[in-house]
Structure 1
Amino acid sequence: MSDFHFLTMLGLGFVLGFRHALDADHVAAVSTMLARSSSVWRSGLVGLSWGVGHTVMLLAAGTVMMAFQVAIPEPVAQALEGVVGLMLIILGGSLAWTLYAERWHWHSHEHDGARHLHIHHHHRSPDHDHLHWWNGAWKPFAVGMVHGLAGSAALLLLVLSNVGTLGQGLAYIAVFGVGSILGMMVTGALISMPMVYAGSWGAWGPVAQVVVRGMVSLGTVGVGAVMVAQAGFVSL
């Protein structure tokens, strides 16, 4: 393989990695964690953690598969997709339970002879600003590893058919991983904006946050259910 061909392949790998971060199951999983984020900056770090975990697993699986010239059997790859689906259902369900546990309720108050309705909630977020960001990094890192393992079969088939050496293959996976990291960081920051800035919408800000988080929960469970069904875990 010529140097130009290899560099072109690496450039394509970066673009494909960035695009790979936008897959529905990736966005759904990360969105459940971004729903608890307190800032756009911290949301970008959640995306970074996911991307690093995703890349670490791709490199680990790629090293084994290319070194021994083996591929993940189709039934195993399908089962891994089902595992990702189950993970999404759990993540979406966990977010729904968090919303329920926050105990949103309305109170009627009277001020200066006029009655007003106010929304109140009891909220204990694990994402407090005084905590170091890495305290919450393990979860997106682990989710990224699961996604990396499930997605390694298709990626490695592409790599094995286009590279000549183990080093070239690992270089491609690494560049692909960098693209996916940047893609998820940008995506995470953009997804979190409605949640982060809803608090500045006055009295209806908390309501908007609940609606958005509820939609994320339902959407994530829905994506997970479809993946489980497609993997053959259940029948539609």
Structure 2
Amino acid sequence: MALDALFFVVLALALGFKHSYDADHLVAVSNLLTRSRDLRKTSLMSLSWAAGHMITASLITIVLFTFRETLLRDFLAHVELLVAVMLVVIGVLGLLLEFGILHGHFHRHKAEDLEHPHVHLARLTEHRAMFGIGVVHGLASNDELLVLFVASLSVTSLLGLLGGVGVFSVGVVLGMILFGLGVSYPITRWGSVRVRRAVNVTAALLSLAYAAYLFLGFEGLNLLPIVPG
């Protein structure tokens, strides 16, 4: 019994870590993480994303546990299209910000100062954006959660299922923080203005390219090997 519980925890943690490296996750968050100039801020932004992901992943798990009809599963499977739309928005905004068509800044100005389009960024905008991205990504994680906690592990109680989601989410947090630090540290340490711009533009273009990939009906990619079931 103890070995079964240990296997449950280790597998849930491993699959959560793996899940954080879904390609749509990485291209979306990269557009914000590459703009961070502080490793602590990067870690907190990653946590904001994971918090949003955990909330909707938990809600989806409850829904899937309560309503197990095939129709509902088929409906949730199409959430990938919502992810694709989000990637388009992120990519377009990233390019507009990078090339100065939109720009974010902190300032006060008179009502008549409307010479160019701009965006006012609150101090917590990045965290709110990361949280919102995590919410959408959590909606698209239903298939993996269902396989892990219902089919593979034969978890039959809602409490056990939510416990599994909690462990799964810890793995997601660890994976995203590791990725965030891996992306931000080289840029923070050695990145010049040109390097930052090149990285930001590349991240935006990858977001648009992957959105097109999803719109064409291809299955999502994951950068880590598939864990055998």
Residue in structure 2 matched with residue 219 of structure 1 by the alignment:
206
Q: Which has the larger radius of gyration?
A: 1
**Is there any run of 5+ residues in structure 2 with no aligned partner, and where?**
107-120, 220-229
Query: What are the within-5 Å matches in structure 2 for residues 1-150 of structure 1?
Result: 2-70=1-69, 73=72, 75-101=74-100, 124=104, 134-150=124-140
The correspondence for 1:176, drawn from 149, 168, 171, is: 168
What is the Cα deviation at residue 4 of structure 1? Answer: 2.3
**How high is the sequence identity, in percent, across the aligned residues?**
29
Residue in structure 2 matched with residue 228 of structure 1 by the alignment:
215
Separation of aligned partners in 1, 2:190 and 2:193: 7
Q: Residue 125 and residue 193 in structure 1: after superposition, are their counterparts in 2 closer, same or farther (change >3 A)?
A: farther
Separation of aligned partners in 2, 1:72 and 1:176: 25
What is the Cα deviation at residue 134 of structure 1? Answer: 4.3
Residue in structure 2 matched with residue 160 of structure 1 by the alignment:
150
Separation of aligned partners in 2, 1:71 and 1:51: 28
- The list of structure 1 runs, each at least 4 consecutive aligned residues, that deviate by more than 6 angstroms after superposition, is none
Separation of aligned partners in 2, 1:101 and 1:188: 25
User: Equivalent residue of 2:216, what SS?
Assistant: helix
Separation of aligned partners in 2, 1:69 and 1:142: 27
TM-score by length of 1: 0.77
User: Equivalent residue of 1:88, what SS?
Assistant: helix
What is the Cα deviation at residue 6 of structure 1? Answer: 2.4
What is the Cα deviation at residue 158 of structure 1? Answer: 2.8
| Cα deviation 1:155-211 (Å, max 9, x = unaligned) | 223312221211111111110011101110111111112332344xxxxx1111111
What is the Cα deviation at residue 133 of structure 1? Answer: 6.6
Residue in structure 2 matched with residue 114 of structure 1 by the alignment:
none
**Greater strand percent: which structure?**
1
The correspondence for 1:192, drawn from 184, 194, 200, is: 184
TM-score by length of 2: 0.80
**Is there any run of 5+ residues in structure 1 with no aligned partner, and where?**
104-122, 200-204
Residue in structure 2 matched with residue 113 of structure 1 by the alignment:
none
8 Å Cα contact 1:81-1:231 kept in structure 2: no
Separation of aligned partners in 2, 1:170 and 1:74: 18
Separation of aligned partners in 2, 1:71 and 1:159: 17
8 Å Cα contact 2:77-2:142 kept in structure 1: no
Aligned Cα root-mean-square deviation (Å): 2.4
8 Å Cα contact 2:64-2:73 kept in structure 1: no
